[in-house]
């Protein structure tokens, strides 16, 4: 199982808590702690 992190991110001027899972390909899946859509992305 891959590590899961909790972080606070600014979204549209509001601070939101996210559960974040970093994938083997260095991409991530982040879902707001309060139910909402997941965010998928890749970065360096």
pTM of the full structure:
0.57
**CA-CA-CA-CA torsion sign (41, 33, 38, 8):** negative
Q: How many CB atoms lie within 10 A of CB 7?
A: 10
Domain ranges (residues) in the chain: 4-42
Q: How far apart are CA 21 and CA 41, in angstroms?
A: 11
Strand order in the sheet with 27-32: 4-11, 14-22, 27-32, 38-42
pLDDT digits (tens, 9 = 90+) for 6-42: 777 776 777 878 788 888 888 888 887 777 777 777 7
pLDDT band (50, 70, 90) for residue 5: confident
Q: Which residue matches tokens 């974040």?
A: 20
DSSP 34: S
């Amino acid at each position: 199982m891959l590590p899961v992190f909790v972080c606070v991110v600014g979204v549209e001027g509001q601070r939101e808590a996210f559960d974040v899972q970093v994938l083997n390909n260095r991409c991530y899946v982040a879902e707001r702690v309060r139910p909402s859509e997941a965010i998928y992305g890749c970065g360096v």
